[in-house]
Structure 1
Amino acid sequence: MKKITLLTFFFTCSLLVNSQSYLGFLTDNYSGVHGLISNPANITDSRFKTDINLTGLSAFATNDYYGINIWDTTKDGYSFDLEAKTHPKDINSGGLNVDVLGPSFMFNLSKNSSIAVFSRARAFVNAYDINGNSIAVIDDDSTRDFAFNEGSINVLAHSWAEIGLTYARTLIDKDQHFVKGGVNLKYLQGLGNVYGSGNNISINYDADGTDLGGGETTGSITTTGTLTYGRFDNFDNDDYDYKTPKNASGFGVDLGFVYEFRPDHTDYDADESSPYQFKDKNKYKLKLGISVSDIGFINYKEGIKEGYAINNNNVSEQDLETAEDIEAFLNSFYTKTIEGVGYKIDLPTALHVNVDWNLNSKIYLNLNTDFSLMSKERITANRIANVVSLTPRYESKWFSFYLPLSVIENNGLRMGAGFRAGPLYVGSGSLISSFTSDDNRQADAYAGLKIPIYQSQPKDKDGDGIVDKLDDCPKEPGPESNNGCPVEDKDEDGVLDDVDECPEVAGPEDNNGCPWGDKDGDDIIDKLDACPDEAGPIENKGCPYRDSDGDGVLDKDDDCIDQVGTVANNGCPEEVMEELQKTLNDFARVILFNPGRATLKTESASVLFEIISVLNEYPNAKFTIEGHTDSIGSYELNQRLSEDRAFAVKAFLVKNGINPGRLSAIGYGEKRPIATNMYKAGRAQNRRVEINLVK
């Protein structure tokens, strides 16, 4: 009896919920005509000349009340009632989505526009605000009686067919920025609809509450609350002779745009008149799509809508069983509060945002969001579940593979898999998670066949990287600069004539095919000559030596480049050299040694570094380091000590960067005192190291 079907529909529909169709497959650039489902802009600038879908089916069902282990269901004796996990909440939800893409095709009108014609059949079931505790009470096998307060409930089932026309075209194609847009216009035919909404509903069922006499009893039902009930005009026929609803039609619209970021656009840009436009290649690094689908409604002009106050005590279950139909039962035992003909069912309007990242030529990562624009409280509207999915995929012309990972409203994380192999596409958005979970509450699958006619890959017979359609010499390799034709090399120097600045005379490539010259005649070729227009020695890289101050001492030998000096003073004036000698003498007096030894005291290091700084200011000057002692001790010992101390100073200077060729060291022992050795103060002055400029 259909009335039993309806009651079952009202109170057990929480086993289902809906979601996106063809999850994973729609992100594929080779999904062809299917691309218009998520975004009508997808069909232009596609990888297809033509794509013909023969048939495709996508079905999705899930709920947040029952959970099962799929493997357990294959065992003998499995009991769904006893072994399924339940998750009762004050508000459970569910629904169903079936999407059939019938014969459909797309083709290109021009370089910048495409068109598609499609047929589609769809069915939705939405169930919201179901009290899961009520289901748990009904499922309790320990007693036949039950009582529960359902509160509110919203249930909607709807199916319809679509015939649509899609137009899409390129809107912007400028350098690295590419934008296309599209629209689906759909004629809608309603195939059937029923909905119910209840408020403050309570039900008390007593299995033996009605005495039929003769010792027989039947159940009694006590209910309270209000119920709104709508259905298409042929729904209550018990003969199940289905007929398409009368006067149930409407129109729908889908709008979409796609932006592509093409940083390598110069590899694909071709002249407008070019016979080849690289249609066979994905040219983007990042793609962003945004669309709004299913704007519109179906008007069931002869649909029936009624409302009832269902406040009644001890209604016999036998009365329900023997009633002609649900409407007759409701009218007999409850008070009708609303009565009318005609209502509209809104399509599941939704916003879709899609981001596709091209990691390399065949590996992609896709982020997709489907967001319902319909409220759950709208009882005459279909609604998709909100979904966010992340799908890595391998994609090529004849084969693609997807691993969608998604989070669905009210049902958490799921993982699926799918593939496309030429004309066949098969997949599921929850295949992996369904078989790995012991509390699975969802299942979906899709499959179909099509006839894809891909954009052809260009031929390049001579392998010069220029496709034959753009190659003036398709059988001979040549550079792009010569339109694919080979370039001569008359002088056979390995530099082709189109870039050879001296095509008649052999020359190296790094001189653009011309021989190197020697303009200044200094026997250094211009390639190696730092001053190709002035003669100079090879040791100065072909440049002449300068004498900036004109004192006859070249800058390379002049310690005072900006001051006129003498050759004897390495280009410095006499007073400068006298000042230099005085500075050195002042420093040398505080070079200290350990008593009776040639080792420098630690505090002498800072003085010696000051001396090094002064010597570096005169890089061409030479110096003598002289060691002296007092007369205390033997003559031989003093001579050796003075020499050792002079060489110790020289070693320190050389170690810290002074060229040893600029230094000489000598020891004079006690031969050259500068004070008397009779007194202590005089002896202290005689123990010294001097650094003298060599003139």
Structure 2
Amino acid sequence: MKKFTLALALAATLPMAGQAQRYMGIATSNWGGTNPLYLNPANAADSRHKFSIDLFNANIGADNSLAAVDFTKVISAIRNDEPVRDGLTFGKSDKFSILAPYAEVRLPGVFVNIKGKHGIALTTRMRAMSQFHNFNQGLYKLLTDSAVADLSKDQQLVVKDFNWTMNGWSEIGLTYGGVIYDKGQHMVKGGATLRYLMGAAYISVFSNNINAKYRLDEQSRDAFLTLTNTDFHYSQKNASQILVDSTADVDFSQFFGGSAGNGIGADLGFVYEWRPDHADYRYDMDGKTGILDASKNPYKMRFSASISDLGSIKYKSDAKIDFNTNSTDSTVITGTEVLEKIKDTAAFAQYLESRGMTAKRGAGETKVGMPTTLIVGVDYHAVSNLYINATYFANMRRHDMAGNSFYNQFTVTPRWDTRIFTASLPITYSMLSENIRVGLGLRVGGFFVGSDDLVASFGGRYSANFYMGAYVPFNKKRPRDSDGDMVSNKRDKCEHEKGVWAMKGCPDPDKDGDGVLDKEDNCPDVAGSKTAQGCPDADMDGVADAEDRCPQEAGEVAMQGCPDRDKDGIANMDDACPDQAGLAQFKGCADSDQDGIADNEDKCPNAAGSIANQGCPDTDNDGIADNMDKCPQVAGTAANSGCPEVKAEVKKRLAFAATAIQFDLGKATIKKTSNKILDEIVAILNEYSDYNMTIEGHSDNVGNATKNLELSENRANAVRDYFISKGIDASRLSAAGFGDAKPVASNKTAAGRAKNRRVAMDLKLK
């Protein structure tokens, strides 16, 4: 294989230019092996695979913003060593970018899912990227096709913010994804991939400004470049030879698996799944309930966000040179001399310095950045096995340093996705070429083939892409249950006969399903309880409902299923006194005084009495039970509540005493002449010991009413004090004065006023 000159390399790159396609036809599948992990490492969690082995896959393609390509004509021109211009339709913009080429080979890898919640993958791949950013269309045409202009005259070329980075490397990646949050309807997953990067070779040229005049000498056929106000940075490792020697063979082994540089890369990502119908994806099996079917996708909407290709490769460069020309002086260089001198870095620097350029030489480390990309997407589970995915890729890598980048794109991918088969139709808008392309992806089992760029729908054929690969998937499956008895075939001892889990899938010898085998079930056709030998026992007291006198209330077998709170051998429902132990003859009640009357009917349960008195005694035998007798120790009358009635002559004596008791004039001092009548009243009080006495003082209306009231109170108290002095208990006596408020006669006559001046006394039962 021959090495190419720079001009020939640029001529060849256009038809081979490759956009960094992401296998959109397969990477969005839920059964895509490790491919979805490159979009978002969080996809490793809750995977539809329990295990998969990557065998091999590769991706090649073409994309650019320079020209629409007729690939048939371009390939024919290259084969015949003819100009490729007839196969190119150039765009209007003077600036263009090419990712030329991008090649990716994914080598063997493995993925393992752990308990449904975690996933681990080990992946390997090789990648190569050659990228021109902000290249000049005119310069490209001059370098690749001398027929486009009169090259005997100077052609002005201006290029700003130019970057060309070519990088080849291999990598080993370790991915982990896990479920962070799972509450049925909502699930959040997170994941990360850590990669060890092994750089094989790179070239980096970037410039703030290139201002040149290009002319081709007709006699020498040599190209002359006149540089003014130009700067560029050049560094490389292991790669300069492919540009300068057209006769030697290329040893491509140095580009893959080499150790010219190394570094660490990473992907980070999160996924949120909305699962409003998650209950519909659950089943019961082998004695467990509510198992989520791991072979299905329960989400309605899945949102994804990730950052891929973080990191860089650190190379120890063979050469690092910064070139500059000032704004007034010109430097003239020829293509022949450049190609001759560039073989030796020192000679190349000396040559440029001899031509008037400032060359700052050095060696050291160069970090070549990975194509860091932000990836956000949503996957909508429309119906059945139909999904619609929308994904946006945004470049996060700067172009003013060594490194590659992916260009922005937006892709919508409808797909039919099952465990065995996937058919997808990725539709992409490329921000690089500003056109739309349509692809097709097909998967059968673990073999897939497809393209994201089969057809560029608008603006000409700017792109083409093809990928294929194979892996061995071990998919999650719902356990088979041939007879539908919720016992998996693997554990079903009667695989073709419907049974129950308790019998390992064999028919249940318990027809009513109450846990009591029919041979021991007294009610084999009706679900019951073990406590009642298979018959219904609502209160679980061991007495079947049919025989239970209290079927809704747990009781004792001896009580026919009824409770007996007071433990007297009489069921509550039959016990007139359920909270007090009693006797059967009294319906469960006690007879504390043993008078033959149950306590619940005995008015005096602690004192023996007669039935006539409802169990109460009659101590004074007056026919009135003690509980109703206010004078239980003295015989009385029913009309007087069991107390003896006050005799008529006593009442007369009390009425007489009211006017017979004499006091000193205007005082409360009792005259001694009244002691006899007072002593008679004392005798009455002693005779009627069950009575209390009220003593009331009254006056006429002569004089001051307030003083009359005070005098009446004092006289009533004087009588009370006399009785107390004679041994009458003070608690039996009450005294009060009313003044002239309660006259019994007219105060207009002396006789009437005399009657009104009195101390009235009355006996009342206690």
What SS class does the counterpart of residue 5 from structure 2 fall into?
A: helix
> Which residue number in structure 1 is paired with residue 315 of structure 2?
300
Q: Give the structure with higher Rg (CA).
A: 2
Q: CA deviation at 1:475?
A: 4.3
Query: In 1, distance between residues paired with 2:452 and 2:429?
Result: 10
> Do structure 1's residue 333 and structure 2's residue 352 form an aligned pair?
yes
Q: Distance in 2 between matches of 1:98 and 1:84?
A: 23
In structure 1, C-alpha distance between the alignment counterparts of 2:268 and 2:472, rounded to whole Å: 26
The alignment's C-alpha RMSD in Å is: 3.8
SS across alignment from 1:431 = strand
Distance 1:297 1:14 in 2: 27
Equivalent-residue separation in structure 1 for 2:260 and 2:284 (angstroms): 53
Q: What amino acid is the match of 1:149?
A: L
Conservation of the 8 A alpha-carbon contact between 2:452 and 2:466:
yes
2:386 to 359, 363, 370: 363
Question: CA separation of 1:144/1:373 partners in 2, compared to 1, >3 Å: closer, same or farther?
Answer: same
Change beyond 3 A, Cα 1:164–1:85? same
For 1:395 and 1:380, the matched residues in 2 are separated by: 40
Give the aligned residue type for 1:383.
S
* Contact persistence 1:297–1:346 (CA under 8 A): yes
Partners of 1:368 and 1:330 lie apart in 2 by: 47
Partner of residue 261, structure 1: 274
Match of 2:95 in 1: 91
| SS at structure 1 position matched to 2:268 | strand
Q: Which residue of 2 aligns with 1:455?
A: 476
User: What is aligned with 2:263?
Assistant: 250
Aligned to 1:206: 215
8 Å Cα contact 1:459-1:468 kept in structure 2: yes
Contact residue 236 and residue 317 of structure 2 kept, 8 A: no
Instruction: Say which of 205, 208, 219 aligns to 1:196.
Output: 205
Amino acid aligned to 1:261: W
Please report how far the alpha carbon of residue 428 of structure 1 lies from its aligned counterpart in structure 2 after TM superposition.
0.4
- Alignment partners' CA distance in 1, 2:284 and 2:57: 39
Tell me the alpha carbon deviations over residues 631-653 of structure 1, each in whole angstroms, 9 at most, x when there is no partner.
xxxxxxxxxxxxxxxxxxxxxxx
**Could you report, residue by residue, the CA deviation over 1:122-143 in whole angstroms, capped at 9, with x for unpaired residues?**
1122211112233345544453
Q: 1:278 to 1:468 in 2, by over 3 A?
A: farther
Amino acid at match of 1:333: L
The equivalent residue for 2:720 is none
* Aligned residue in 2 for 1:323: 341
- Aligned residue for 1:428? 451
Q: What's the CA shift for 1:263?
A: 1.7
Q: Does structure 2 conserve the Cα–Cα contact (< 8 Å) formed by 1:428 and 1:446?
A: yes
Relative to the length of structure 2, the TM-score reads 0.58
Aligned partners of 1:456, 1:271: CA distance in 2, in Å? 14
Give the conservation status (yes or no) of the 8 Å contact 1:14–1:92.
no
> Alignment partner for residue 80 of structure 1, among 65, 84, 97?
84
Q: TM (normalized to structure 1)? A: 0.63
Distance (Å, rounded) in 1 between the aligned partners of 2:83 and 2:6:
25
Equivalence for 1:404: 426
Shift of 1:355: 1.0
Distance 1:317 1:278, change over 3 A: closer
AA aligned to 1:356 is D
Amino acid at match of 1:117: L
1:228 Cα shift? 1.1
User: Is 2:412 the partner of 1:390?
Assistant: yes
Say whether the 8 Å CA contact 2:313–2:370 is kept in structure 1.
yes
**Alignment counterpart, residue 446 of structure 1, candidates 460, 463, 467:** 467
Alignment pair present for 1:148 and 2:161: no
Which digits, 9 at most, give the CA deviation of each residue in 1:487-517, with x for residues without a partner?
Answer: 8589xxxxx9569xxx999xxxxxxxxxxxx
- Structure 2 CA distance for aligned equivalents of residues 39 and 464 of structure 1: 39
Q: Quote the offset at 1:154 in angstroms.
A: 1.2
- Contact 1:427–1:447 (CA<8 Å) still a contact in 2? yes
Aligned amino acid, residue 349 of structure 1: T
> Take 2:27 and 2:380, find their aligned partners in 1: how far apart are those partners?
15
Aligned pairs (5 A) from 1:603-614: none
Q: Is the 8 A contact 2:207 2:231 kept in 1?
A: yes
Greater alpha carbon shift after TM alignment, 384-393 vs 8-17: 8-17
Total equivalences in the alignment: 491
The answer for unaligned runs of 5 or more in structure 1 is 491-495, 506-695
1:633-652 → structure 2 map (5 Å cutoff): none
Query: Is the CA contact (8 Å cut-off) linking 2:142 and 2:149 kept in structure 1?
Result: no
Could you say if the C-alpha distance between residues 347 and 200 of structure 1 is closer, same or farther in structure 2, counting changes exceeding 3 Å? closer
Partner of 1:103: 108
Q: 2 CA distance for matches of 1:419 and 1:360?
A: 20
Give the Cα separation in 2 of the matches to 1:469 and 1:4. Answer: 64
Q: CA offset at residue 30 of structure 1? A: 0.6
- How far apart, CA to CA, are the structure 2 residues paired with 1:498 and 1:289? 51
CA 1:246 to 1:359, structure 2 compared with 1: closer, same or farther past 3 Å? closer
CA distance in 2, matches of 1:393, 1:164: 28
> Residue 126 in 1 paired to residue 131 in 2?
yes
Deviation at 1:24, TM superposition (A): 1.8
Indicate how the Cα distance of structure 1 residues 2 and 460 shifts in structure 2: closer, same or farther if over 3 A, else same.
closer
SS in 2 for 1:42: helix
Question: Which residue identity is paired with 1:221?
Answer: L
Structure 1 counterpart of 2:224: 220
Instruction: Give % identity.
Output: 29
Counterpart residue number, 2:44: 43
